[in-house]
Amino acid sequence: MPSAPARHDSEALLQERLPQPLLALQRALGEAPPLYLVGGAVRDLLLGRPLIDIDLLLEGDAPALARRLARGLGAKALTHPRFGTAKLQRDGFAIDLASARTETYPRPGALPVVAPGTIAQDLARRDFTINAMALRLGSARWGELLDPCGGRRDLERGLIRTLHPASFRDDATRMLRALRYRGRLAFRLAPETEAELRANLPFLDTISGDRLRGELELVLQEESARDILAQAHDLGVLGAIHPNLRLPRQWVRGLGEGQSPLLDFFVSLALDLQEEQVRGLAQRLRLPREVARAMGDVVSLRQALAAPLPKGEAEPAPSAVYYALKPYSMPALQAWAGAHPDPRVRARLHDFLTKLRLAKPSLNGDDLKSLGVPPGPAVGRMLRALMDARLDGQVSTIEDEREWLQRRLGSPKLS
């Protein structure tokens, strides 16, 4: 086991890089039980990376301590006694507190059974050595590093290492988590950890679709998502989750109004899948309805756009393009607008997305009735005809529409 850094080195790190609200909390602790900064915050502190999530741990009642500290700091405490957790909020800053605990897994893939524990037991339940360190706060031993699993040494060597050989069997989502940290930190998997991952791929079947999708969403939010997923593919992780889960050949970004990385990824993947493959993947990962629908639309659009356009063929009327593409979801249309091999088809899709779908007559049903269209089905028919005229460039202003309508009303055949 490596020697811990000198306490004054850790203390200097804490004083230099901990947010002021956390330093204020430390000063407010007084005679409270020892409190520890744990997990990713310690890892990132030692690496000089920005601190995003501040997680604190104590051997005792975290909700009770949170309420006491809230009074002393003028903060708000949100407590969850059932889970032994709490959140302190002050001036837009939040700190999570939790009671130390132990975890046991009744079977592979099951959620753990939790019981109160010590700081040593809590660190021993974690996923990787680099996340199993703690820095002591609020006592004469302020800044002491607890590193029972060699996390500091693995940080220095750039290694992702599990705490024990059964780690991936207990919770196979750790496979995706290991690759996520590997990509984010530009680390390597320790050789024995990579061997354990390969050997335990079948245990991904023990994980629910919801949990696997959640881990994939976290991967997709990483800056190096493509590299992480490429590694997951090479190691067999993606294929073990589902045979049709792979890195898209063409990854189209920015689909949908929410710019969801999950939507981008799966719609791009659907460019190379068939209907039954999409259905199986959506069921396994319990994909959100809008994602599954967009994937299905990608497949349907492939069939609709499959026929090549003969050279010299006259372009269809814009209104015909509009009604042909209108039923499909925006993400599916955007995906093919960026991926279809025929530039003329891409241009047609782009025209629909940027112009045709936004077209709308200036006159509405009430306007038409006031101008002489008889109430009833004739209003709907005339609105549809007016929409076609707008799409096909026969009218462009409200004055054009009124003149067009008067001409139509003057024809007994069309009124």
- Residue among 168, 176, 173, 231 nearest 196 (CA): 168
Contact 193, 162 (CB under 8 A): yes
Give the per-residue pLDDT at 413: 42
> What is the band of 80 on the pLDDT scale with cuts at 50, 70, 90?
confident
pLDDT in tens, 38-47: 989 999 989 9
Indicate the CATH number for domain 7-157. Answer: 3.30.460.10
pLDDT in tens, 1-14: 334 444 446 666 66
Indicate the CATH number for domain 160-287. Answer: 1.10.3090.10
| CB-CB neighbours of 108 under 10 Å | 17
SS3 assignment, position 314: coil
The Cα–Cα gap between 412 and 364 comes to: 22
Are β-strands 159-160 and 76-80 bridged in parallel, bridged antiparallel, or unpaired?
unpaired
Amino acid identity of residue 148, one-letter, is P
Give the per-residue pLDDT at 23: 66
* Mean pLDDT calculated for residue range 108-112: 83
The Cα–Cα gap between 413 and 385 comes to: 14
Give the per-residue pLDDT at 6: 46
pLDDT in tens, 331-374: 999 999 999 988 888 999 999 999 999 999 998 898 888 888 88
SS3 assignment, position 74: coil
The Cα–Cα gap between 49 and 141 comes to: 24
The Cα–Cα gap between 371 and 29 comes to: 77
| pTM: predicted TM-score of the whole model, two decimal places | 0.84
**Which residues make up the CATH 1.10.3090.10 domain(s) of the chain?**
160-287
Contact 116, 101 (CB under 8 A): yes
- Residue among 272, 265, 261 nearest 251 (CA): 265
The Cα–Cα gap between 123 and 134 comes to: 8
The 8 Å CB, 24+ separation contacts for 146-149 are: 146/4, 146/36, 146/119, 146/120, 147/1, 147/2, 147/4, 148/1, 148/120, 148/123, 148/124, 149/123, 149/124
Total H helices, total E strands in the chain: 21, 11
**Which residues make up the CATH 3.30.460.10 domain(s) of the chain?**
7-157
